[in-house]
């Protein structure tokens, strides 16, 4: 007979999560629109099927090296909150607040994007719903907030079920394209070998590939709620990412089998075009439905992630103390309601424009990733005695490599979307006055809370 966990104290989260939940967060937050849309543009830049597959493989390897650095952090500081926790330990209250602030906005932007995207695809499936896109997005955010308020266990089950359905749907489409769909005739004039594209084409391709892999870090935000924080985070992050890499490579192979390469490179939604060759018009409808469903685990996961960041910051006195409260079912309810409210504001502030949420979120996501790599380098130097059940592979060279890649990617985001990046920088600048109001005095009073 299972004994119920005791009610959490103020600020204390329940240790009831396992590796299965971590895998679900990684898969649910990663596999989605990126792999449905990006293969076409990557193929166009790559110039050949072999080079296209190579770019997706190199992107996966980069993501694995980055994930290994984050797994090092997650097992050395077993506390929920993600990059904020590591940056505060490495860089102090101010640095922690800056990256925590950026991470909250990154995940809230992702929540707004997921809700709006799901509503947009629902409108494509049922045109009568198109005028109600914002209302549907609000309903989706409210529904997942209610589920998570009911308890961390229920939220975990919903996330695992959603991620499992998503993975099975994608694998089902891949199997159908590989084994049931008619194969495209051989491409005349297309080089089957590795064609070396120009430097600009490679950079643009890698931005898309790494954007499609974004989401693998979701498993680090719940370490303080994990039953085995020394072993489960690496299993979840690296295991989930390996499955994502497999899905992405298989999807590209399936597309190359069904679509002529020139047609693949020119397609706005290649998976839908390939499915149409397999199932007729019903194939495109199927892919639209999968796109809508794929965003639901992303919405649930990002709401959980952002609430943990806000909760951790409140526990350290860097946000109002009320946000540190945890209900008897293990949910940081005030923090959850706050980030859900922020996501709702972004839904309306964006005017329903998906690309705006995507551009702003991309800047914050890459900025936060860079903060994690910097934190690992600083912590390894200043705190060599921290327990490290998992160590980053080939440290420090691997971490310096992914840091350099992260900085290059950040520059690419700024150059590619200067308006969205400008909005993101303005939001970052707001961190200083907010920190002055909430952080300085109260953080001094709770400095001993650092692990």
Supply the CATH number for residue 340's domain.
1.20.1740.10
Using the predicted structure, report yes or no on whether residue 440 has a pLDDT greater than 60.
no
Mean pLDDT of 114-124: 90
Q: What pLDDT, on a 0 to 100 scale, did the predictor assign at position 12? A: 82
Which range marks the domain in which residue 164 is found?
Answer: 19-446
Burial class (CB in 10 A: 0-12, 13-18, 19+), 415: exposed
Q: What pLDDT, on a 0 to 100 scale, did the predictor assign at position 434? A: 83
Range list of H helices, 214-352: 232-258, 261-266, 270-279, 281-315, 333-349
* Residue 411 counted as domain residue: yes
What the block records as the tokens of 281 is: 């018009």
Q: What are phi and psi of 106, to 5 degrees?
A: -60, -50
* Residue 7 counted as domain residue: no
**Cα angle 306, 72, 446; round to 5:** 55
The DSSP symbol for 387 reads -
> How many independent structural domains does the chain possess?
1
Mean pLDDT of 234-238: 94
Contact 217, 64 (CB under 8 A): no
Q: Could you give the CA distance from residue 206 to residue 38 in angstroms, rounded to a whole number?
A: 10
92-117 core/surface letters (b: 16 or more CB in 10 A; e: else): ebbbbbbbbbbbbbbbbbbbbbbbbb
* Residue 321 counted as domain residue: yes
Mean pLDDT of 7-20: 77
Nearest Cα to Cα of residue 206 among 27, 36, 34:
34
Percent of the chain with pLDDT over 70: 90
Instruction: Give the tens place of pLDDT for each residue, 305-360.
Output: 999 999 999 999 899 889 999 999 999 999 999 999 999 998 888 765 556 666 77
Residues in the chain: 451
Q: What pLDDT, on a 0 to 100 scale, did the predictor assign at position 445? A: 47
Q: How confident is the model at residue 33 (pLDDT cuts 50, 70, 90)?
A: confident
Report the chain's mean pLDDT, rounded to a whole number.
Answer: 88
Q: What pLDDT, on a 0 to 100 scale, did the predictor assign at position 179? A: 94
Using the predicted structure, report yes or no on whether residue 4 has a pLDDT greater than 50.
no
> Which of 2-16, 131-145, 427-441 is the least confident region?
2-16
* Residue 2 counted as domain residue: no
* Residue 6 counted as domain residue: no
Using the predicted structure, report yes or no on whether residue 207 has a pLDDT greater than 80.
yes
* Residue 133 counted as domain residue: yes
Q: How far is CA 2 from the centre of its chain?
A: 33
Q: Could you give the CA distance from residue 311 to residue 335 in angstroms, rounded to a whole number?
A: 6
108: left (phi over 0), alpha (psi -120 to 50) or beta: alpha
Instruction: Choose between 183 and 443: higher pLDDT.
Output: 183
Instruction: Give the tens place of pLDDT for each residue, 363-391.
Output: 899 999 999 999 999 999 999 989 999 99
Contact 243, 27 (CB under 8 A): yes
Q: What pLDDT, on a 0 to 100 scale, did the predictor assign at position 96? A: 94
Q: Could you give the CA distance from residue 38 to residue 235 in angstroms, rounded to a whole number?
A: 27
Using the predicted structure, report yes or no on whether residue 443 has a pLDDT greater than 90.
no
pTM for the whole structure: 0.90
Mean pLDDT of 78-106: 94
Instruction: Give the tens place of pLDDT for each residue, 161-181.
Output: 999 999 999 999 999 999 999
Q: Could you give the CA distance from residue 335 to residue 314 in angstroms, rounded to a whole number?
A: 9
Using the predicted structure, report yes or no on whether residue 45 has a pLDDT greater than 90.
no
Q: What pLDDT, on a 0 to 100 scale, did the predictor assign at position 362? A: 84
Q: How far is CA 297 from CA 29, 304, 442, in A?
A: 7, 11, 35
Q: Could you give the CA distance from residue 18 to residue 232 in angstroms, rounded to a whole number?
A: 7
Contact 53, 283 (CB under 8 A): no
């Amino acid at each position: 007979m299972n004994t119920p966990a005791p009610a959490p104290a103020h600020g204390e989260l329940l240790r009831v999560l396992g590796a299965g939940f971590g895998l679900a967060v990684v898969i649910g937050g990663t596999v989605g629109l990126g792999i449905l849309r990006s293969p076409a543009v990557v193929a166009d830049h790559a110039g050949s099927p072999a080079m296209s597959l190579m770019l997706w493989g190199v992107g996966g390897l980069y993501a694995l090296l980055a994930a290994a650095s984050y797994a090092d952090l997650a097992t050395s500081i077993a506390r929920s909150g993600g990059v904020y926790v590591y940056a505060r330990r490495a860089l102090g209250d101010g640095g922690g607040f800056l990256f925590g602030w950026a991470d909250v906005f990154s995940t809230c932007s992702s929540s707004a994007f997921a809700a709006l995207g799901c509503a947009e695809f629902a409108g494509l499936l049922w045109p009568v719903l198109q005028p109600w896109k914002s209302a549907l997005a609000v309903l989706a955010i409210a529904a997942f907030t209610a589920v998570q308020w009911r308890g961390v266990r229920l939220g975990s089950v919903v996330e695992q079920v959603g991620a499992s359905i998503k993975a099975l749907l994608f694998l089902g489409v891949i199997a159908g394209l590989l084994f049931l769909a008619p194969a495209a005739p051989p491409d005349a004039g297309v080089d089957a070998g590795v064609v070396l594209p120009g430097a600009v084409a490679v950079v643009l391709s890698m931005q898309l590939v790494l954007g499609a892999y974004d989401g693998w870090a979701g498993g680090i935000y719940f370490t303080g709620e994990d039953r085995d924080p020394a072993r489960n985070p690496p299993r979840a992050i690296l295991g989930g990412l390996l499955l994502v890499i497999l899905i992405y490579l298989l999807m590209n192979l399936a597309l190359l089998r069904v679509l002529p390469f020139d047609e693949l490179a020119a397609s706005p939604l290649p998976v839908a075009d390939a499915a149409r060759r397999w199932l007729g018009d019903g194939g495109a409808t199927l892919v639209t439905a999968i796109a809508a469903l794929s965003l639901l685990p992303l919405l649930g996961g990002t709401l959980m992630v952002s609430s943990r960041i806000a909760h951790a910051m409140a526990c350290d006195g860097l946000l109002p103390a009320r946000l540190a409260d945890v209900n008897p079912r293990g949910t940081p309810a005030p923090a959850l309601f706050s980030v859900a409210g922020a996501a709702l504001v972004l839904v309306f502030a964006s005017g329903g424009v998906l690309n705006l949420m995507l551009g702003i979120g991309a800047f914050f996501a890459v900025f936060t990733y860079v903060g994690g790599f910097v934190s690992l380098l600083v912590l390894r130097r200043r705190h060599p005695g921290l327990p490290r059940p998992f160590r980053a592979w080939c440290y420090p060279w691997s971490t310096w490599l992914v840091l350099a890649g992260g900085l290059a990617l950040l520059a690419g985001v700024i150059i590619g979307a200067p308006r969205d990046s400008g909005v993101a920088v303005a939001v970052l600048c707001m961190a200083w006055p907010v920190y002055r109001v909430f952080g300085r005095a109260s953080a001094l009073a709770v400095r001993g809370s650092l692990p």
